[in-house]
Amino acid sequence: MGFADWPAGPAAAQRSGDASHPGHDHAVQFYESPEYLSAVVADFVIDGLARGDSAVIIATGKHAADFSRALRDRGVDVEAVRKAARLTLLPASETLSRFMTAAVPDTRAFDSFIGKVINRARRASTSGAVRAYGEMVDVLWRVGNREGAIALEQLWNGLEHRGAFSLLCAYSLKRFSHANDFEQFRRICDQHSRVLPSENFSTRDEAGRMLEVALLQQRAKALESELADRAALTEELRQTAQRERESRSIAERERLEAERARAEAEAARRVAEEANRAKGDFLAVMSHELRTPLNAIGGYTELIELGIHGPVTPEQREALDRVQRSKRLLLGLINQVLNYARIETGAVRYEMGDVVLDEVLVNCGSIIAPQLRAQGLAFRYSGCDKWLTVRADQEKLEQVILNLLANAVKFTERGGTVSVDVDATPSHATIRVRDTGIGIARDRLGLIFDPFVQVDAQYTRTRDGVGLGLAISRDLTSGMDGELTVSSEVGKGSEFAVTLRR
Ligand code: ADP
């Protein structure tokens, strides 16, 4: 029992080896059961009385009764020693109220009140020594006033230094049952010159204590590593939660971004559609407005040519002929612009069917024949399987082939050749329109399908066209789920290939 080691009075405190504070003994007893506490306090008091010391007990009501009973059980005539002032019993809460101001103890009030109590006890002693037991700090600790308790411990220390007496404090171990109580527990221990472990330890013999220390050490290690594991787990959870929050916010940002992009694209599409419709409407109206006076120009020119308004001289006839040619050219351009506008606005309907390719090509060949002859060009069509069909709108396919043939004629010098070949795979057929003409520079090849692009405006100026033929042809081909491509070499000729599904 802790009592066995108890240094009786200042002399014993010196024996106990507290070299830094001779005569100073401030011990703390941790306990688990009130019975053990009673026994310790009774031993502490009885041992003191036996040495001629006086004792002061400042305890809570319930403990005070327990201690008195324990003393009586051990044969102490409590009333007699109290009367002789060898034993002073004070209630903890009332005593605290003598010097506590708000949450902290007042030094002067403490020194004065407790000092008087100690001196009175000292006067009654025969040894001149006093031993005091107090549990006011435990009361403060229990109500959560930890700073107040530490401050009070310090005051006890101060008082004890001045008027040497031994002091015993007690704390219930259950006040420190959490892992994070360690620092506070340490602070309490640091306030005392001796720390007495609870009954689990103090009631054992030497071998038992060693075993207990070893077991406690193992348990502390295990707890420490469990705490570390727990801290790591908590940190991991925190990081996972953080990552989840972050990824949620990234996903949310991405979703909002995608939504915004979709909304913008949708708005842009609507604007483009609106603009396209407006352009189509404009071109349709303009074309109509231009065609009417053009037809009037043609009609009246024809009347003059027919001599309705009098005889026509050969010079006048030639001039009228030019007027008619220019009118036709202009009408052709207007029709092309209108055509393009209609395709662009998606107003064109495709009547898809199985189109016999040979028929289309023979037909186009005969339509283009007069121009070929006029330009002095040879035409070669090697023919193809009479049963070969492609998925197309026949009229539109003819329009595309005729446009390619017309370009071949336009851009091939007299004496050259224009040829048409077909090759087929099980799934597709390709029509190649070749010429031995001027060709197209490599860096311009990518542009010729854009509307209003003419590779050599100067060269083209002598020929019809506004640079819409290929744009229209590519649109029509892709409208039939096909592809129009080009390969060419300047000075050697060009090859336009239309590939369609079979
Ligand atoms: P256009 O013939 O009305 O100018 P196109 O869209 O049909 O317009 O052709 C665009 C341009 O591509 C032509 O102006 C010409 O420079 C070039 N091009 C088209 N076909 C050929 C060809 N067979 N040989 C050389 N250049 C060509």
Looking at domain 353-501, does it have CATH number 3.30.565.10?
yes
Name the residue type at position 121.
A
Q: Is the pLDDT of residue 242 over 90?
A: yes
> Would the CB of 440 count as within 6 Å of ligand 1?
yes
pLDDT in tens, 294-321: 888 889 999 999 999 899 999 999 999 9
196 lines ligand 1 (CB under 6 A): no
420 lines ligand 1 (CB under 6 A): no
pLDDT band at 14 (very low <50, low <70, confident <90, very high): very low
> pTM higher than 0.75, yes or no?
no
Which option is the CATH number for 231-344: 2.60.40, 3.30.420, 1.10.287, 1.20.140? 1.10.287
Q: What is the mean pLDDT of residues 8-27?
A: 45
Nearest atom, ligand 1, residue 439 CA: 25
Domain ranges of the chain: 2-203, 231-344, 353-501
Cα–Cα distance, 44 to 55 (Å, whole number): 9
**Model confidence pLDDT, tens digit, residues 426-458:** 999 999 999 999 999 998 888 888 877 777 655
User: What does the pLDDT read at residue 203?
Assistant: 74
Measured in Å, residue 408 CA sits from the centre of ligand 1 at: 8
Contacts of 438 (CB under 8 A, 6+ apart): 411, 412, 413, 459, 490, 491
DSSP string, 359-416: HHHHHHHHHHHHHHHHHT-EEEE----TT-EEEE-HHHHHHHHHHHHHHHHHTS-TT-
Ligand 1 centroid from CA 439, angstroms:
10
Say how many C-beta atoms besides its own lie within 10 A of residue 359's C-beta.
Answer: 13
How many angstroms separate the first and last alpha carbons of the chain? 107
pLDDT at 125 (0 to 100): 95
Residue 166: CB within 6 Å of ligand 1? no
pLDDT at 9: 35
Q: Quote the pLDDT of residue 440.
A: 93
Task: Say what percent of the chain tops pLDDT 90.
Answer: 59
CATH 3.30.530.80 fits 2-203, yes or no: no
Is the confidence at residue 113, as pLDDT, over 60? Answer: yes
Identify the weakest region by mean pLDDT among 4-8, 66-70, 364-368. 4-8
CB 455 within 8 Å of CB 441: yes
**For the CA of 403, the nearest atom of ligand 1:** 7
Helix (H, G, I), strand (E, B) or coil at 30: strand
**Residue 460 pLDDT level (bands cut at 50, 70, 90):** low
Mean pLDDT, the chain, rounded, equals 87
82 φψ region: left (φ > 0), alpha (ψ -120 to 50), beta (else): alpha
Q: What is the mean pLDDT of residues 238-254?
A: 92
* Burial group, residue 186, by CB count within 10 angstroms (0-12, 13-18, 19+): exposed
Determine the average pLDDT of the residues in 91-112: 93
